[in-house]
Amino acid sequence: MPRDMRKYARQTNIRLILGGLLLMILIGEGLILVFYGRSAALSGLICMGLGLAPLILIWVTLWGLGKITERAFRQR
């Protein structure tokens, strides 16, 4: 039974990132909501979204470049 360790590593990284984001949103926003109220929690969500936007743009760019290079090497 062969194991694809790259697929496993990719899957694990995705799960860790999603789990971290989920914790940050649920716990972080929940605490902001409890201590400071709804408007502060909304501000926190906006700040988190704006903070994550550059990271998402970088990830999308690198993913796109990877797809372009895969296609270029397949055409050789």
What tens digit of pLDDT does each residue of 26-61 get? 999 999 999 999 999 999 999 999 999 999 999 999
pLDDT band for position 76 (cuts 50, 70, 90): confident
Work out whether the CA dihedral 53, 24, 21, 41 comes out positive or negative. negative
Instruction: Quote the domain boundaries for residue 28.
Output: 5-75
pTM of this structure: 0.70
Number of structural domains found in the chain? 1
- The 3-class secondary structure across 52-75, one letter per residue, is HHHHHHHHHHHHHHHHHHHHHHHH
